[in-house]
Amino acid sequence: MKVLNILPSLIFLFGLAISNPVLSDDVIAESDEILQMRMYGGPHNDTCQEAWDKTGLIKQCTGGAYIQQYPAGTCVLDMACLKSGNTEKHSARYDFRLEDMPKINNCDGVLQTCPCPT
């Protein structure tokens, strides 16, 4: 009978042990930093901004305040681009390699680096 009285306490303690992982502050800080950059834009990047400006799509798309480079060599864009007929926009987040930025086309509101289908 005494074993049964101890069993709920053991289950409770065992549950606490496996449900409370211990992480270093460095891991938590790094994860938060990466999450913030992905969710809220991170720092603006002039190199990617210049590459975007050269595409000539600035009149078709809005949202250029959210241009970052993360990870290095990848431009992250939050854009809303006009669809065919110029009546509505398609909004999305895009990741393009920096060297592919000059190849970007607006294909019915969707940005892509290959030619638009005809």
Domain count, the chain: 2
Average pLDDT over residues 97-108: 95
If phi over 0 gives left and psi between -120 and 50 gives alpha, with beta otherwise, what is residue 2? Answer: alpha
Average pLDDT over residues 31-59: 76
Q: Which residues contact 25 (CB under 8 A, 6 or more apart)?
A: none
The answer as to whether 69 is a domain residue is yes
The answer as to whether 118 is a domain residue is no
Q: Are residues 29 and 56 in the same domain?
A: no
Q: What percent of the chain has pLDDT over 90?
A: 42
Q: Is the pLDDT of residue 15 over 70?
A: no
Return the higher-pLDDT residue of 109 and 2. 109
pLDDT of residue 101: 96
Average pLDDT over residues 49-74: 88
The values of phi and psi at residue 59, to 5°, are -80, -20
Q: Is the pLDDT of residue 8 over 50?
A: yes
Q: Are residues 60 and 32 in the same domain?
A: no
